[in-house]
Amino acid sequence: MEHRAFERLGRSASVIGLGCWQLGADWGDVDDATAMAILHAAADAGVTFFDTADVYGDGRSERFVGQLLRERAGEQLFVATKTGRRATAQVDQEYSEEHLRAWIARSLENLGVDRLDLVQWHCPPTDTITRESMYELFDELTAEGLIAGYGVSVETVEQARLAIAHPHIASLQIIANAFRLKPLETVVPEAAAQGVGVIVRVPLASGLLSAKFRSDTEFAADDHRAYNRQGEAFDVGETFAGVPYEVGVAAARELADCLPDDITPAQAALRWLVDQPGVTTVIPGASSVAQAQANAAVGSLPRMGDAYRGAVRRIYDSQIRHFVHARW
């Protein structure tokens, strides 16, 4: 497994991490034993970077990751959590100092640590990203030793540019994949050039890029791929990367047809992302041990070849760009 540096944190992470949203909620049922087995399978396969959030299952995901840290004490595991979305009150109150300090205390408790490795603002509104008092507060939390550093998880390229303009941001998290090329062509290399670690989320377009879905695939009622297709619960870009489902199913199948037999569509999609300039770590979510293992194996696969790279560009321009490029 290759490791890459988060320069401003002075530490490295595996190029394939594990997204831990599935271990909280919103993806159908992932029971407790499966959640812990996924975490250990990823760590056994060389994954050292785990992305979670205080709201995933209202702390369930963080608590599983905390259990992993206890069960693998002594290993250099790197946990990135998120804060800012626990209140249903008005958005500007969500990011009040009182709330943020309470939520960070709760994440410390859920994870069972004295200091958080990395705290990401969880897709805040644009005016929060530009609010100087936010940076001052997180500088204070760093100085107090409660967090080792902070970053921002964003929806759009414009928000990403505002965030990386600040010299203390250690990481940027953004959606990028074969159906979301704009960040890779713009802000991802820009962030890396400034020493900001880049965490790529939704790398499989919520599973679409595995090419396993059909137009009639059914998702559980408590899976966001059933209840957020039009953005009913949160930004529609977080579900299938914002690509209309049937368009994505067809495009993913066409992309998969360009592959040799010795790599799966999901692995190709991940490897291609790892190859992109500026990417520090890619964080696929997994709902089974087999997925976690297959995804981790990508960290030691060779680069994707010209045929796949060309197919990504052709399919994006002809079928996907229209739906996503201007919006995110």
Ligand X SMILES: NC(=O)c1ccc[n+]([C@@H]2O[C@H](COP(=O)([O-])OP(=O)(O)OC[C@H]3O[C@@H](n4cnc5c(N)ncnc54)[C@H](OP(=O)(O)O)[C@@H]3O)[C@@H](O)[C@H]2O)c1
- Which residues contact ligand X by CB under 6 A? 19-22, 27, 51, 82, 122-123, 153, 173, 201-207, 210, 212, 238, 266, 283-287, 291, 294-295
DSSP string, 244-256: -HHHHHHHHHHHH
Query: What does each C-alpha distance from 69 to 72, 77, 111, 123 come to in angstroms?
Result: 5, 7, 8, 26
d(CA 25, CA 220): 12
**CB nearer ligand X, residue 10 or residue 231:** 231
CB of 171 to ligand X, least distance (A): 11
Task: Using only the alpha carbons of the chain, give its radius of gyration.
Answer: 18
**CB nearer ligand X, residue 33 or residue 143:** 33
DSSP lists the bridge partners of residue 27 as 223
**CB nearer ligand X, residue 284 or residue 299:** 284
CB of 285 to ligand X, least distance (A): 3
- List b or e across 65-94, with b for residues whose CB sees 16 or more CB atoms inside 10 angstroms: bbbbbeeeeeeebbbbbbbbbbeeeeeeeb
CB of 143 to ligand X, least distance (A): 25
d(CA 48, CA 12): 9
**CB nearer ligand X, residue 148 or residue 174:** 174
CB of 282 to ligand X, least distance (A): 9
CB of 284 to ligand X, least distance (A): 4
CB of 306 to ligand X, least distance (A): 24
Contact 178, 209 (CB under 8 A): yes
**CB nearer ligand X, residue 258 or residue 289:** 289
> Which pair of structure tokens corresponds to residue 88?
């249903």
Query: What does each C-alpha distance from 200 to 310, 317, 320 come to in angstroms?
Result: 21, 21, 19
**CB nearer ligand X, residue 146 or residue 175:** 175
